[in-house]
Chain A
Amino acid sequence: MSTVTRSTRASRIAMIGGGLLLLVLAAAPYWAGRADMRLMSEIYLYLSLATLWNLMAGYAGLVSVGQQAYVGFGGYMLFALTIFGGVHPVVAVLLGGVLAALLSIPIATLAFRLKGAYFAIGTWVIAEVFRLSFAQIQALGGGSGSSLPVAIVKEIGAKKAVREANSYWLALGAAVIIIAAVYAFLRSRRGLALTAIRDSETAASGLGIDIWRTKLEVYVVTSAFTAIIGGLIFLQKLRISPDAAFSVNDWTAFVIFIVVIGGIGTLEGPIIGTLLFFLLREVLADFGTTYLLVLGFVAIVVMLKAPKGVWGLIRERYDLELFPLSYRVRTKD
């Protein structure tokens, strides 16, 4: 008789450890300083972007270089909906996600006609169209951008300490929800189909998987969540401009770096990649542009020596899995 299980000892330990870590992190406003909380919030938001990009590129094979379109769109929706619509900033962030989902459908039908490198370039061009379009909107400051009015900022919390704690929790909550959602999705039947697409599209379609529809769903969902993260990013920054909102460097190049060095096509990869990225950034902060040279060098070395990233190396050596996605068959005679 054979039985099928999914959790392993490592994954059970990781779940308990992760739960405890989460409690400690959630309590950060009571033990961490202002600068540390700011840095941690940024880490959570990058972790979210990386997890989303990994789902889209690493699993669905949609290597987009244009997700900054949705980061910027989410940011601008926060400003537009709060300033002109009078809605609460958190509601505006969520609405930005819904609008991004709607917008991503026609964009997908256009961009999906392109394959591989052409898709990558196409998405970048679309993001540039976003940047140029928002630069035309004078009500939002045109090319020079605008700041979030103080009255709206105070809706997050009247006192500075409360505000900072709330926006920290928003960032942490978003990261937890996104990782949990991606994990639950990958564990489901549809997630199994997406993983099959990651490995061979030809075989996947031959086994009854509708590739186009699966990719569309992934693209729409990642775009919506990316816009929500974009809203949260600019809720922290309190100021937006087209160049900052639609920056290919900040919202896509760094994210790709994180996913590639961490390990593309795994859930653990983006987490490790985010930690490594911020470690490098903090260590090299004083060296100016040398920092970018080092990042590039690290990326090249990892791609050549460990194409499956740091997590790929660990996983191969120790057969570890922190998120129990695999099935394990135990045969008893």
Chain B
Amino acid sequence: MSALLSVSGLQKSFGAVVVADATSFDVRSGEAVGILGPNGAGKTSLFNLITGTLPADAGKIEFNGHDVTKSSAAARCKMGIARSFQVPQPFGGMTVFENALVGATQGAGLSGADAENHALAVLDETGLLAKANARAEALTLLDRKRLELTRALAAKPKLLLLDEIAGGLTEAECRSLIDTIKAIHARGTTIIWIEHVVHALLAVVEKLIVVDFGKKIAEGAPKEIMESAQVKEIYLGVDPDV
């Protein structure tokens, strides 16, 4: 299978802080990939680089066969990259439905009844339909995270980037979120998911990438990665010799 996303030699630093250091990896079409790493490892920055929110210092990002390294965030979204923000960025003055409609009209390029029906279908899937008329600024943090997922899905992405959407959920909520994401993946959407709730991540992804200090330190099948001594030491803080 071909690579939908291909990142090679990606470099980004803010002064002395390196958030991406010669990062390279491929994500195949239809794959679900998890990203692990301690706080401040550069996971969200990696998303910012992939979506175009941050410009790269050096390196190359290819999406669907096109070099998008210099493309704007808006252009990348139209090509099929959508993301949820770790710190929710709702359109606060708009209703939940209107938030979804922005994704459907601007990102997916739908209009009229098509856009409205697509927005409704996505809201139904993410469980926000009952709150469709609520103003986004009035939502709880949990619902804001759900809204992030909704908006990204409404843009009909080929590649969906999820940034810590399972944090703070109850067991039942987490299970229903896992089911939702599995269903999205089953439809053929490629997913990259940053998550500290490891069991949620492992329930969905087929591959794990571990980053620390902007460097990719491991990549492979989830089982092997979770058992590797290096990951235990760096990510879980366990001294392997003990």
Chain A residues within CB distance 8 Å of chain B: 2, 4, 189, 192-193, 195-196, 198-200, 202-211, 265, 326-329, 331
26 A/B residue pairs, CB under 8 Å, sorted by A: A2-B120, A2-B129, A4-B97, A193-B102, A193-B105, A195-B94, A195-B98, A196-B94, A196-B106, A199-B136, A202-B53, A203-B91, A204-B102, A205-B53, A205-B73, A206-B74, A207-B77, A207-B103, A207-B106, A208-B107, A208-B155, A328-B97, A328-B133, A329-B129, A329-B132, A329-B133
Residues of A within 8 A of B82 (CB): 206-207
Contacting residue for A208 out of B53, B106, B120, CB 8 A: B106
Residue pair A4, B116 in contact (C-beta under 8 Å): yes
B6 at the interface (CB under 8 A from A): no
Distance, CA A207 to CA B79, complexed state (A) = 11
Residues of B within 8 A of A204 (CB): 91, 102, 106
Q: Tell me the minimal C-beta distance from A57 to chain B in angstroms.
A: 15
Distance, CA A117 to CA B109, complexed state (A) = 34
Using known A-B contacts A206-B77, A208-B74, A329-B120, determine if residue A199 contacts B106 with beta carbons closer than 8 Å: no
Q: Tell me the minimal C-beta distance from B36 to chain A in angstroms.
A: 23
B89 at the interface (CB under 8 A from A): yes
B83 at the interface (CB under 8 A from A): yes
Residues of B within 8 A of A327 (CB): 95, 97-98, 101, 116
Distance, CA A329 to CA B99, complexed state (A) = 13
Residues of B within 8 A of A202 (CB): 53, 85, 89
Distance, CA A163 to CA B221, complexed state (A) = 83
Using known A-B contacts A206-B73, A206-B82, A207-B107, determine if residue A195 contacts B91 with beta carbons closer than 8 Å: yes
Contacting residue for A326 out of B72, B98, B105, B116, CB 8 A: B98
Q: Tell me the minimal C-beta distance from B111 to chain A in angstroms.
A: 6
CB-based nearest B residue for A212: B72
B167 at the interface (CB under 8 A from A): no
Residue pair B120, A207 in contact (C-beta under 8 Å): no
B90 at the interface (CB under 8 A from A): yes
Residue pair B77, A208 in contact (C-beta under 8 Å): yes
Distance, CA A2 to CA B74, complexed state (A) = 30
B28 at the interface (CB under 8 A from A): no
Q: Tell me the minimal C-beta distance from B58 to chain A in angstroms.
A: 23
Q: Interface residues of B: mostly helix, strand, loop or mixed?
A: helix
Distance, CA A327 to CA B111, complexed state (A) = 14
Residue pair B89, A192 in contact (C-beta under 8 Å): no
Residue pair B90, A199 in contact (C-beta under 8 Å): yes
B9 at the interface (CB under 8 A from A): no
The list of the 3 closest CB pairs from A to B, nearest first, reads A199-B91, A329-B132, A208-B77
B93 at the interface (CB under 8 A from A): yes
CB-based nearest A residue for B121: A2
Residue pair A326, B74 in contact (C-beta under 8 Å): no
| Most chain A beta-carbon neighbours within 10 Å: one of B74, B94, B111, B136 | B74
Q: Tell me the minimal C-beta distance from A80 to chain B in angstroms.
A: 40
Using A202-B85, A211-B74 as known contacts, list a sample of 12 further A-B pairs with CB atoms less than 8 Å apart, ordered by residue number in A. A2-B124, A2-B129, A195-B91, A207-B103, A207-B106, A208-B77, A208-B78, A208-B106, A209-B74, A210-B74, A327-B97, A328-B133
Distance, CA A331 to CA B134, complexed state (A) = 14
Distance, CA A205 to CA B107, complexed state (A) = 9
Using known A-B contacts A196-B102, A204-B102, A210-B72, determine if residue A329 contacts B94 with beta carbons closer than 8 Å: no
Q: Tell me the minimal C-beta distance from A190 to chain B in angstroms.
A: 9
Residue pair A198, B93 in contact (C-beta under 8 Å): yes
Contacting residue for B94 out of A199, A211, A328, A331, CB 8 A: A199
Residue pair B102, A192 in contact (C-beta under 8 Å): yes
Q: Tell me the minimal C-beta distance from B84 to chain A in angstroms.
A: 9
Residues of B within 8 A of A329 (CB): 97, 120, 129, 132-133
B168 at the interface (CB under 8 A from A): no
| Most chain A beta-carbon neighbours within 10 Å: one of B73, B82, B83, B107 | B73
B40 at the interface (CB under 8 A from A): no
Distance, CA A118 to CA B130, complexed state (A) = 43
Residue pair A195, B53 in contact (C-beta under 8 Å): no
